[in-house]
Amino acid sequence: MNYGPLVFLAAFLALSGSWVGFVVAPNFQLSTLQETNTIGAGVTYPLGRPGLAQQGLQVYRANGCVSCHSQMVVQERTMCEVSLTDFGTNFVAVESALRGINSNYNAQVINELKKSLPKTIVFDTTKQKADATVKLINQAGAKAQVVVTPSGSDIARGWGRRRSVAEDYLYDDPVMLGGLRVGPDLANLGSRLPDVNWHLRHLYAPQTEIANSTMPPYRFLFETRKIGSVPVAEPLNLPSGLVPTGYEVVPKPEAVALAQYLVSLRADVQLYSTPFSTPPAASGSGSGISSNAPAVK
């Protein structure tokens, strides 16, 4: 019997399954993705990167930085805690509420607690339990709030305050998430290293900025010129010995664009899908960094 056509048809169906699932469906699900509002400031997120930073993205692509750097922060879990912020006046009611949470709370412990508010009273619990506790405390006339803390080794390394989400990449093309971390994750690079000149020096000679760095240098993004031959905006301020005397190192436009892109990498705003409770400090620090994220620091 010739079951050729049958095999062919079935193979076609089997394969088109994943095509529908991973090509067509995400396109529908994510095509409706738009800027969202951030928690707190309520500003639109993300904004497109400024022009120079967008050119820098292309320099990042052209030199294959993605083969050593990822741009996605992973969050292992979210910890919920309850923090007591204000004791209120009704000692007896609050005391009995606290006892209900933890029988170890006797009058002496509570008096200690009262002196050093805000204080975490429930550690590492679920969102529902935390909400219930807060309700209980508030009913007793005190004030408490839920503290949500994303955790995981990426966050402990300071690579971000929350996990990365699809919104963070809305305006990038190409999106380069990366799969190998030879160097650090760069999703929030601009938040921790906001100095463009640091990046230029690091790109020219990584070891000058980070001892024992194994990152390859990108000297070809710079020009070494005789001092005074052409008036330039700003030569690099490199340690002596790297450049022959009488010469200066000047970043090419690609290097400047790349550095602008690097400092624009900031995906640290709170979204409704990724809450975290370290309250953002008052805005308007005016660091002058152009980024795709509203300035919150």
Partner 1 sequence: MSQKKSSPPKGGPRTVEAGYHSPPSWVFPLLSLVAGGIVWLVISSGFGMVASIKFHSAGFLADFEWLTYGRVRAAGSTAFIYGFCIPAATAFALCQFASLSRSRLPLPGLVLIGTVFWNLGVLVGVGGILGGDLSGFDHLELPGYSLPILFTGFLALGVWGCLALHQRENSGLEIEHWFSLAALFWFAWILTTATLLLHTFPLRGVAQSIVSWWFTGNLTVVWMGLAGLGAVLSLVRKSTTVVNRNLGLFIFWTLLLFGSWVGIPAAAPVPAWMPVLSKVFTALLLVPVLGVFVLLARSRFRFIDGQGSGFAKLSAVMFVVFGLILSISAFFGFEKLTQFTWFNIALEQLGSYGFFGFALFAVIYSEVPHFSGFAWPFPKLIKAHLALGAIGLILAVLPLMAAGLVQGLDMSNPTVTMVDVARNTLKFLRPATLGELFIGIGHLLFLVNISFLVANFARRKATVLMARLHFPGAAEVQS
**DSSP-derived secondary structure for 252-296:** -HHHHHHHHHHHT------BTTB---SPPPPS--------SS---
CB contact at 8 A, 239 and 208: yes
Tell me the residue type at 124: D
Cβ-based nearer residue to partner 1, 196 or 267: 267
Q: Quote the CA–CA distance of 217 and 204 in Å, as a whole number.
A: 6
Cβ-based nearer residue to ligand HEC, 87 or 261: 261
Residue 274 CB, nearest distance to ligand HEC (Å)? 21
Q: For 63, which DSSP code?
A: T
Residues within window 162-201 making contact with partner 1, judged by CB under 8 A: 163-184
Both structure tokens of 17: 């399954």
Q: Contacting partner 1 (CB under 8 A), which of 124, 157, 227, 279? A: 157
Residues within window 234-293 making contact with partner 1, judged by CB under 8 A: none
The site partner of 169 among ligand HEC, partner 1, none (C-beta below 5 to 8 Å per kind) is partner 1
Q: Contacting ligand HEC (CB under 6 A), which of 58, 213, 277, 290? A: 213
CB contact at 8 A, 166 and 274: no
The site partner of 189 among partner 1, ligand HEC, none (C-beta below 5 to 8 Å per kind) is ligand HEC
Q: Contacting ligand HEC (CB under 6 A), which of 23, 210, 227, 232? A: 210
Q: Does 177 bind ligand HEC (CB under 6 A)?
A: no
Over the range 106-117, which residues count as b (16 or more CB within 10 Å of their CB) and which as e? eeeeeeebeeee
Cβ-based nearer residue to partner 1, 122 or 257: 257
Q: Does 90 bind ligand HEC (CB under 6 A)?
A: no
Give all strands (DSSP E) within the chain, no chain letters. Answer: 36-37, 44-45, 77-86, 119-125, 143-151, 222-226, 247-251
Q: Quote the CA–CA distance of 71 and 227 in Å, as a whole number.
A: 38
Q: Contacting partner 1 (CB under 8 A), which of 85, 106, 126, 153? A: 153
Q: Applying CB under 8 A, which residues contact partner 1? A: 2, 4, 7, 10-11, 14-15, 17-19, 21-23, 26-27, 29-31, 33, 61-68, 70, 72, 74, 76, 153, 156-157, 163-184, 206, 210-220
